Structure 1
Amino acid sequence: MSSKNSDFAALLTRASDAETSADPSSVMTLLADTDGPGGGFTTYRSTFAEGAIGAPAHFHTKATELFFVISGSLRVLVGEEAVVLNGGDFLAVPPHTPHAFAAAPGCTADVLFVFTPGMGRFDYLRLLGSVMRGETDPKKIAESSERYDNHYVDSPVWRDALAAS
């Protein structure tokens, strides 16, 4: 495949060729991970089981993170507010904005995530899956925060939202 007027060639990932990473509460399907002069992007799809915790409160300094809920419901922290996204909802979280996500209470969720610019985040997603499966020490996540632009923070709003369910 080729494209015109862009910084990268067109990219096609067939469902049958996509790498998947499963843990006890979710399945991630890794779709595209590019970087380059135009910034690139990272795209993956996660299906969350009922009660699944997706990510604790964190922010990115370089990337905007995009969420598109394909089906189900996803509870999301955005700054100082916890909201529920339902099937068809879209959210863009700009750099430096604390956010977190989990399946909404009593729900499953199927979500498409896009980060832009890209920066080789598939290795982080693989690491995350390994930690969630109990194969890798969780300290490896903290050690990777600068490399993958994931900076974890404490959020009383998110703690309260999780405790309420």
Structure 2
Amino acid sequence: MSSSRTHFAPVVTRAAEAETTSDPSSEMSLLADSGTTGGLLTSYRSTFAEGAVGAPAHFHTRAAEMFFVIDGSLRVLLDETITVLSAGDFLLVPPHTPHAFAAAPGCTADVLFTFTPGMARFDYLRLLGRVMRGEADFEEIKASSERYDNHYVDSPVWNAALTTG
């Protein structure tokens, strides 16, 4: 029997063994990158402190991004609309859709993120942690847009939401 499916071993990442990267307002647990999933997906979990900003407005050209809120509330920009996701809510952001996210005002958030198809994104998340800790310059992130499929855009709607709470 022939199969065109890529073969890879099942992936189990124990919470206690997951690599983590953190900054003063969030912690990311790196769960599965494309290299271990046969390119099917990349997944990580982020916990955000109250008031933490997760990502500025951006879009991806090659991947859909899925959000599942485990606990708390997450404020999300989708194109030019802002919505709040609460525990148990799921969101799928298709490619080319500008989006941004942050802990909702007065809330923390615990969120599972999954990208499909997978890309080697863990180095981006490590870089992001270094930038947030002041160990690297944001210009390094801007220079990596194509490599990690993160294309930043200006969003007056998101900027206004962040300044008005």
TM-score category, normalised to shorter length = over 0.9
Aligned equivalents of 1:47, 1:15: Cα separation in 2: 13
Between stretches 94-103 and 27-36, larger displacement belongs to 27-36
Aligned to 2:125: 125
After superposition, what is the alpha-carbon deviation per residue over 1:40-76, rounded to whole angstroms, capped at 9, x for unaligned? Answer: 2110000000010000000000000000000000000
Q: CA separation in 2, counterparts of 1:61 and 1:26?
A: 26
CA RMSD after TM alignment: 1.8
SS of residue paired to 2:97? coil
Tell me, what secondary structure is at the counterpart of 1:74? strand
1:43 aligned onto 2:43:
yes
The 8 Å contact of residues 79 and 98 in structure 1, kept in 2 or not, is answered as yes
Conserved? CA contact 2:34–2:41, under 8 Å: yes
1:82 aligns with 2:75: no
Compared CA separation, residues 124 and 37, structure 1 to 2 (3 A): closer
Distance, in Å, in 2 between the alignment partners of 1:135 and 1:36 is: 28
Indicate yes or no: 2:73 matched with 1:66: no
CA shift digits 1:17-59 (9 cap, x unpaired): 1001110000000000025996421100000000100000000
Task: Look up the equivalent residue of 2:52 and give its one-letter code.
Answer: A
Q: Which runs of structure 2 are paired with 1:1-165 in the superposition (5 Å)?
A: 6-7=5-6, 8-35=8-35, 39-165=39-165
Output the CA distance in 2 between the equivalents of 1:38 and 1:92. 21
Deviations 1:125-154 (A, max 9, x none): 000000000000110000000000000000
What SS is found at the alignment partner of 2:61?
coil
Q: Percent identity?
A: 71
Give 5+ residue unaligned stretches, structure 1: none
What amino acid sits opposite 1:128 in the alignment? Answer: L
TM-score by length of 1: 0.94
Distance 1:37 1:87 in 2: 27
- Summarize deviations over 1:66-92 as a string: whole Å, max 9, x none: 000000000000111000000000000
* In structure 2, distance between residues paired with 1:92 and 1:81: 15
Structure 1 Cα separation of the partners of residues 78 and 38 of structure 2: 27
What is the CA distance between 1:156 and its match in structure 2? Answer: 1.0
| Maintained 8 Å contact 2:11/2:37 | no
Q: Give the distance between the partners of 2:141 and 2:134, measured in 1 at CA.
A: 13
Contact 1:49–1:103 (CA<8 Å) still a contact in 2? yes
